[in-house]
Amino acid sequence: MIIGITIIAYNANPTLEAVFSPWREIKGGVLEGLIDKVYISCQSACFPETFNLGYPAKSEDGTIETLEELYKDGTISNLVIHEEPVEEQILWSANLPYLQQFQPDLIWLLGSDECFKVYEIRKIIEFIKRNSLTDGFKINFKNYMGPNYANYDFVAPRIWNNKRNGGIAHFWKDDLVVTGDGKFDHQLSFMVIPPKICTPDHWSWAIPRLPNEDYNDYLVRNAVFCKRKTAFSAIRYGQCSYIWDDAKMKLEFNKDYYNRLGKSIPQIVYDEIES
Terminus-to-terminus CA distance in the chain, angstroms? Answer: 44
What is the pLDDT at residue 224? Answer: 94
Report CA-CA distances (Å) from 1 to 72, 102, 107, 140: 24, 11, 11, 23
Report the SS3 class of residue 90.
helix
**pLDDT tens digits, 118-148:** 999 999 999 999 999 999 999 999 999 999 9
Q: What is the DSSP string of 200-226?
A: -EE-SSS-PPPTT--HHHHHHHHHHHH
Distance from C-alpha of 267 to C-alpha of 220, rounded to nearest angstrom: 25
Distance from C-alpha of 85 to C-alpha of 66, rounded to nearest angstrom: 20
What is the pLDDT at residue 275? Answer: 45
Say yes or no: domain 2-202 is CATH 3.90.1170.50: no
Residue 192's nearest CA partner among 224, 152, 162 is 152
What is the pLDDT at residue 200? Answer: 97
Helix runs in 12-109, H state only = 13-27, 48-52, 63-72, 88-94, 96-100
Average pLDDT, the chain: 96
CB atoms within 10 A of CB 245: 11
Distance from C-alpha of 45 to C-alpha of 57, rounded to nearest angstrom: 7
pLDDT of 211 strictly over 50: yes
User: Mean of the pLDDT values across residues 96-118?
Assistant: 98
Q: What stretch(es) of the chain map to CATH 3.90.550.10?
A: 2-202
Number of residues in the chain: 275
pLDDT of 273 strictly over 60: no
Question: What whole-number percentage of the chain has pLDDT above 70?
Answer: 99
Residue 169's nearest CA partner among 180, 158, 160 is 180
Distance from C-alpha of 78 to C-alpha of 204, rounded to nearest angstrom: 24
Residue 204's nearest CA partner among 43, 14, 4, 5 is 14
pTM beyond cutoff 0.75: yes
Residue 162's nearest CA partner among 25, 34, 5, 24 is 5
**pLDDT tens digits, 18-46:** 999 999 999 999 999 999 999 999 999 99
**Are 240 and 233 in contact, with CB atoms under 8 Å apart?**
yes
Report the SS3 class of residue 84.
coil
Query: CA triplet 217, 63, 104: central angle to 5 degrees?
Result: 130
Q: What is the DSSP string of 70-83?
A: HHHTTSSSEEEE-S
What is the pLDDT at residue 105? Answer: 98
User: Mean of the pLDDT values across residues 79-107?
Assistant: 98
